[in-house]
Every structure is written in C-alpha cells, then in structure tokens.
C-alpha cells in the first residue's frame, strides 16, 4: 500500500469520526431520539418551508398545551408531509370546531376600504402611462402567442402576461389567473387551449406561485404601500385599459382558480365591469382543501375567505365581495359545502334559489361534480352559459 493511499485512508477515517461526532452532537442537542419521528420530520420541513405563527382570532381561542413546536418555535399547529402528530391532530380538531362568527351587516364603502387596504390606487404608473413590452412571440396552435412585461414603478416590478390571439378575429376574450404551484403559461396550456378552440382569445397572467417566496416579496411591496392582492387585480385592469379590450371584444370573461379566484374577487370590486368573472376554489372548505396537513396549515395561516368572515383586508367578507361586485359572478365549488357553509355566510343578504337558470342578474353557484370527466367539461359549459348542463343555485340580492 503506497504512502498516498495510507494518508487518504487516514484522512477518510478522521473525517468519518468527525461527521459521526457532529451527528451525535446534533442528535443530543435537538433530542432526536427522544421525540416522535413524525415530529422530527415536521421540524425539518418547517425549518425550510414553515408558515407564520397562528394569528388572532384563532390563537387566543386555542389550547396549545402539549404542542412542542409552539414551545420550541412559537408555531402551532405544525405538520409533516405525511401525517399529523397527535398533538397537532388535537390542535387541528380545535380549529375545525371553532364556531363561525355571527354574520355582521354588509360593510359600508367596501370598494374604498378594500382599495386602501391593498394599495390599489397607490400603484404607479396609471394605465395610460404603463409601459408594456413584448419579449417573446411564437405560434400557439391556430393562434399567435405574445409574452409581455408590464413595467411598474411602485412597486418596482414586472408583471408577465401571455396573450394568445387566434388567426381569425375573435369577439370573445378569456382572462386567466392561476393558483399556487402554477404559472400563466401552464394555465394557458391546460385551460386556454380548449377555449381557443371554442373561439376565445386568451390572456394568462403570472401571479402568486410559491406562497413562501411571495410572502417575502409582498413584505417589500407593503413597505411601498402596495399589497400583492392589489397589484394582480390592478395589472389585469390596466392591461384591459391599455389594450382597449372592452372596445375590441363583445364579451370578456375572467376565470380565477384557487389563489387566482381571490384576486378575481378583488378585481370584481375594484375594476370596471367585465361581462362575467368566474371564481373556482378560492373559498373552499379548509379541511378538504389539501391532502397534506402542512398545506392545510398554510391555508389556515393565509387567512382565506372560509376561515372567518373578516379575513379580507379592511375587515370585509366574501358576502361584501359578492354584494359589491361590478361584474356578474359565477362561483364554482363543492355542492355540500356551498349548500351549507357558503349559504350560511351569504344569508340573509341574499335569497337562495335552487336553479342556475334563475340567475340572469344575480350570482350563480355552480356545483362541482365528483366525476373527473364531468369536471373537465364544467368550465366549458360555464363559458358557453349552458346552464341546463350544470347543477347549482342562484343568489338574488335582497333589498335593504
């Protein structure tokens, strides 16, 4: 055995000893072998991708005794990617058992309060001075796809929009806002292609994708008086004004999925009217929203419509969003959830009518079927306004 080989083996042995000692120190310091392995997984996952501490009104109403991550990290409940440790199951059951607050009266001056809360009017420049640049053009089936940058000064950022125009002139336009874990181009591929075949031009925006990263970016934007929930609706509204879309198309429909549905709800209140705004999944029941407990916890911390009536900025609720919408609304969700939870949220401001055909001037609630093939055809039926092919209900505003 050569001298070099011996030196290498000695160095490797010393390295392994050091690594073992370091691993033993870490295991001892963090009590790895004294804890439930599932809790250890939770701690590792949350170290790299953890939600914010639970905020009121929930935190003051929960018993956090026995929640180790609350003592260690001031975060509770926390979760793993596989299953909830016993103490987290208890905390989660407490959260789901919290009574829904009594419905307050409709909030006054909702548009003004919501605009102020998300910095809608603080965004610069305005639509007339907004610079929009095309950075890529390519064929997209029977359409031409332009990818564009919308340049904003406050906040200092570029918003991306993908605009697919059919070769034959279209009189219909579909605007898409995607959910987390997606992007505009992906939604254009999955949702936009069928709509192009049905005669729509399509615009897909890039909005929130990774909630953790977006939280960091949004913190910087809020120092400038602008919230992401204000920028995304404003970008859609500015794009429509700058391109004079309302003059070009006889019918404009906005479709938001998940997080995109929340922004579409703001858009319905803050922007000039579109023909229809469709919201799917932005108000769903948190207990069934994600199969992963960690993802469910993320949704809880984000303060969505379903958590409580005052989850919105400016202390407004989903009922306020519906009542003050400038556009016709179509909400897509699960039948049982809509018949109970959502109905409780919106009454007594609305009359509930178990027919989609009766919703000519009201808000329509489309029940999402369980069969995958039927769900794939659902959006097409909504866009075609084929209400006889769908199950749902209509909301009609009661006079004060």
Same domain, 168 and 288: yes
Instruction: Work out the number of other CB atoms within 10 angstroms of the CB of residue 89.
Output: 14
Within-domain flag for 107: no
- The whole-number pLDDT of residue 83 equals 46
Yes or no: say if 330 and 366 are a contact pair by the CB < 8 Å rule: yes
Yes or no: say if 382 and 330 are a contact pair by the CB < 8 Å rule: yes
Indicate which CATH number applies to the domain containing 140. Answer: 3.40.50.1820
Same domain, 123 and 71: no
Segment 247-292, tens digit of pLDDT: 999 999 999 998 888 889 889 999 999 999 999 986 654 444 333 3
> Which region among 62-71, 205-214, 248-257, 275-284 has the lowest average model confidence (pLDDT)?
62-71
DSSP 230: H
Same domain, 45 and 185: no
Domain that holds residue 62: 3-97
Segment 331-359, tens digit of pLDDT: 998 898 888 878 877 877 888 999 898 66
72, 97, 122 - which closes a domain: 97
Considering its fold, how many domains does the chain have in total? 2
Nearest residue to 188 via CA among 158, 232, 146, 157: 146
- The whole-number pLDDT of residue 50 equals 44
Strand partners, 364: 330, 394
Segment 153-176, tens digit of pLDDT: 999 999 999 999 999 999 999 999
Same domain, 134 and 222: yes
Yes or no: say if 289 and 299 are a contact pair by the CB < 8 Å rule: yes
Cis peptide before 144 (omega within 30 of 0): no
- The whole-number pLDDT of residue 227 equals 85
Segment 353-394, tens digit of pLDDT: 998 986 667 799 999 887 766 667 899 999 999 999 899 999
Segment 112-156, tens digit of pLDDT: 878 887 889 999 999 999 999 999 999 999 999 999 999 999 999
Same domain, 207 and 317: yes
Nearest residue to 305 via CA among 325, 333, 282, 334: 282
- Average pLDDT of the segment spanning 87-97: 59
Strands 200-205 and 157-166: antiparallel
Nearest residue to 252 via CA among 321, 170, 189: 170
- The whole-number pLDDT of residue 9 equals 78
31, 66, 97 - which closes a domain: 97
49, 65, 97 - which closes a domain: 97
Strand partners, 279: 256, 331
């Amino acid at each position: 055995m050569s001298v070099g080989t011996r030196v290498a083996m000695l160095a490797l042995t010393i390295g392994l000893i050091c690594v073992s000692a370091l691993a033993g120190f870490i295991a001892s310091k963090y009590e790895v072998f004294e804890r439930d392995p599932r809790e250890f997984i939770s701690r590792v996952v949350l170290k790299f991708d953890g939600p914010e501490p639970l905020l009121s009104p929930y935190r003051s109403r929960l018993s956090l005794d026995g929640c180790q991550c609350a003592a260690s990290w001031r975060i509770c409940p926390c979760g793993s990617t596989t299953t909830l440790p016993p103490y987290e199951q208890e905390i989660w059951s407490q959260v789901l058992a919290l009574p829904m607050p009594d419905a307050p009266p409709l909030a006054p001056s909702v548009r003004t309060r919501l605009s102020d809360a998300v910095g809608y009017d603080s965004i610069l420049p305005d639509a007339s001075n907004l610079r929009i640049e095309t950075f890529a053009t390519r064929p997209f089936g029977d359409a031409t796809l332009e990818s564009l940058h919308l340049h904003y000064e406050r906040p200092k950022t570029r918003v991306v929009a993908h605009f697919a125009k059919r070769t034959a002139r279209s009189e219909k336009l579909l605007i898409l806002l995607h959910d987390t874990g997606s992007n505009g181009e992906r939604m254009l591929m999955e949702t936009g292609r069928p709509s192009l075949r049905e005669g729509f031009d399509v615009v897909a925006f890039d909005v929130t994708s990774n909630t953790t990263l977006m939280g960091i970016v949004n913190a910087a934007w809020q120092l400038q008086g602008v919230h992401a929930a204000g920028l995304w609706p404003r970008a859609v509204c500015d794009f429509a004004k700058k391109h004079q879309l309302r003059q070009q198309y006889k019918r404009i429909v906005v479709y938001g999925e998940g997080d995109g549905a929340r922004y579409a709800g703001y858009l319905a209140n803050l922007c000039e009217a579109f023909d229809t705004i469709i919201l799917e999944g932005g108000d769903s029941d948190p207990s069934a929203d994600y199969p992963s407990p960690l993802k469910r916890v993320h949704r809880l911390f984000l303060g969505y419509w379903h958590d409580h009536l005052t989850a919105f900025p400016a202390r407004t609720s989903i009922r306020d969003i519906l009542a003050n919408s400038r556009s016709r609304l179509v909400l897509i969700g699960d039948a049982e959830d809509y018949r109970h939870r959502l109905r409780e949220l919106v009454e007594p401001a609305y009359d509930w009518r178990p027919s989609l055909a009766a919703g000519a001037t009201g808000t329509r609630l489309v029940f999402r079927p369980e069969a995958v093939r039927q769900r794939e055809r659902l959006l097409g039926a909504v866009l075609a306004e084929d209400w006889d092919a769908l199950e749902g209900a209509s909301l009609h505003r009661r006079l004060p």
